[in-house]
Structure 1
C-alpha cells in the first residue's frame, strides 16, 4: 500500500468518525527538513571552537 492509498483510508475513517482528514502525504516535508537543518546548525554553533558547520 502506498502513501496515497493509506491517506484515502485514513480520510474515509476520519469522515466516518466526524473528524478532520489528515494532511496530504508530503505536505510537511520541507518544514521537517528545515527544522532538522536548524537544529543541526544550533548544535554545531554551540560547540566550542566551531564558528560554522562544515561545507560539503
Structure 2
C-alpha cells in the first residue's frame, strides 16, 4: 500500500467518525526539513561549533584533516604529476 492509498483509508475513517481528514502526503515535508536543519544548527551553537557551515566546507575540512595530501592549497583536488594518458610525447 502506498502513501496515497493509506491517506484515502485514513480520510474515510475520519469522515466516518466526524473528524477532520489528515493532511495530504508530503504536505509538511519541507517544514520537517527546515526544523531538522534548525535543530542541527542549535545543537552546534550549544556545543560551541559554527552553526552555518556549508556541507561542502565541512566535507573539505574533514578530508584535509584525515588526508592532508589529497587537496591542494586552493581546496581543489591536486593534479597528477607526470605524463598524461597519451604518453610522454603528448601525441
Instruction: Specify if TM > 0.5.
Output: yes
Q: Identify unmatched segments of 5+ residues in structure 2.
A: 57-91
Establish whether residue 51 from structure 1 lines up as the match of residue 50 from structure 2: yes
Which structure's relative contact order is higher, taking Cα pairs within 8 Å and 6+ residues apart? 1
For 2:7, the equivalent position in structure 1 comes to 7
Q: Identify unmatched segments of 5+ residues in structure 1.
A: none
Q: Deviations over 1:9-29 (max 9, x none)?
A: 000011111111000001010
Q: Deviations over 1:2-54 (max 9, x none)?
A: 00000000000111111110000010100000000000001112223x23344
Query: TM-score, normalised to structure 1's length?
Result: 0.86
- Alpha-carbon RMSD across the aligned residues, in angstroms, is 1.3
Query: TM-score, normalised to structure 2's length?
Result: 0.55
